[in-house]
Amino acid sequence: MTAVCPAENSPEGTAAGARTAGSKGSASGPAGTAGSSSVSGVQTGRESNGDSVGGSVGGTAVVTGGQRYSRWSRQDSSDINTDDEGATIRRLTPLERLNLDMCQDDRVVREMTVGRRIGFYKIRGEIGVGNFSHVKLGIHALTKDKVAIKILDKTKLDQKTQRLLSREISSMERLHHPNIIRLYEVVETLTRLHLVMEYAGGGELYTKITTEGKLSDADGKIVFAQILSAVQHMHESNIIHRDLKAENVFYTGSSCVKVGDFGFSTLSRRDETLNTFCGSPPYAAPELFRDEHYVGIFVDVWALGVMLFFMMTGAMPFRAETVAKLKRCILEGAYILPSWVPEACQRLIRGILQPIPSDRCKVEQMMGCEWLLPVDFPRSMEPFKLDPSYLAEGDPPELREEEMEVKAALETLGITSEHILNNQGKDCRSSITGVYRILLHRAHKRRAVHSVPAAAKVVGPTKTSGFGGSAVTAAEGKKRHTLRFTSQSMVSSLLTVNDVSH
């Protein structure tokens, strides 16, 4: 783990002495480097159960390089211009204040010792459990944003699982889509890995359906369009998810969903074959049970068909008491579509759940089918920089509006060009990069709220032709439908569901 604090921010952290801060009065030393420096000029340590958790500063004012720093107090954090001796005292920046707390505040140090804090994140309750991990809610101590922290026990990761973890990180960093969960930071301690990701406060699509029942036709179109657009972006980026299911689709607002959990994802060309069976058996394509090799995109497409069936009926198309019976059911390809499912949607499901992989409809065909004609699909985002180093360049390139906003926000928190330059080469394993990505995502959300599609009301009869009405062109469909965009309430939910009130 890389941190600004002079100690590893975890119960397993190693001891690190505090060093004297620089004379310019910036946050003390290279940020993002474990054990680098703090605002303290005093070198002391605290130990609990043999694990060092940070350094301590004596007194309420700290002199560094000729300047005096007042220790932050929760009772009185107002600006103070002079002390009793008449020396000038500068108020600490949020970053300096957090550094100091992580080194000498009893409550913060205790939270770090018992695992209630990791890096810059306060850890709260559990929100999910995976095959190799559990997920907890976290709150960033500087930005106050909620995050999801996926925690893995390093002692239980064999080589295969380590490769999957590496792919998960690289897949999430290659993708730039409003309906795909973002990765902010990776925090590593002696025994654990923490993947800090975007928090989806609305819960799983699976939970919503099992508790509230099947989706309405309009909601089904809105949700499936977002999933479909995200999968199209993955496949265009040569990424195969291999674990698409309702449990891995998360609500971030009343109608906005995002695809997550890339733990089984892999990089693969469209015509390349794979041979590793992974994913959930109820969503597994027939070739996974039948053949030694399979094409990744066809497996993802099949899973989309199973998910759409579940969304529109509240039940799975293939059900059995054992995996062996489930396998036989999937290979036979027998399922019953209830009559209440709209005819155009039924044709789409049948077009997807074809036993022969090459016969399944392509993602582009799904997006042009009659059932989804009333929907305006989200678009992938322009690629954005994952590392903040460009913000500290001597002759920086022309910045976009959101990048200028992020740079100003970083400076407000006390993160300077010096911190960013000292942060180079650490990629996602850096607290400075984590702050940058959270602030950049916040800026993107303010500008991309219209990525949530809305189904329009049909104003005239439609003709059907072939699979799902796919012969009907998009232009013809838009003439017969009235498109409307995201409502203000949906915009508000996008902006607030992942934030903590200040």
Which residue among the candidates 101, 105, 145, 243 is catalytic per the annotation? 243
Across-strand partners of 286?
none
Residue with tokens 């309906």: 179
Alpha helix ranges (H) inside 396-430: 401-413, 417-422
Helices (runs of H) and strands (runs of E) counted in the chain: 15, 18
Interatomic CA distance for residues 29 and 39, integer angstroms: 8
Q: How many CA atoms lie within 13 A of 15 on its CB side?
A: 12
| C-alpha–C-alpha distance, residues 267 and 237, integer Å | 8
The response to whether 362 counts as a known ligand-binding position is: no
Q: What is the separation of C-alpha 454 from the centre of its chain, rounded to a whole number of angstroms?
A: 23
CA–CA separation, 112 and 106 (whole Å): 10
- Retrieve residue 314's tokens: 């509240």
How crowded is the C-beta side of 334, counted as CA atoms within 13 Å? 6
- Which parts of 49-105 fold into alpha helices (H)? 94-104
339: how many CB neighbours lie within 10 A of its CB? 7
- Structure tokens given for 468: 């799902």
Q: Please give the single-letter amino acid code of residue 235.
A: H
Q: Which two tokens stand for residue 379?
A: 């678009």
Quickly list H helices, 237-295. 286-290
Active-site residue flag, 243? yes
Specify binding-site residues for ATP: 150
- Which residues are documented as binding site? 150
Q: Which residues are catalytic?
A: 243
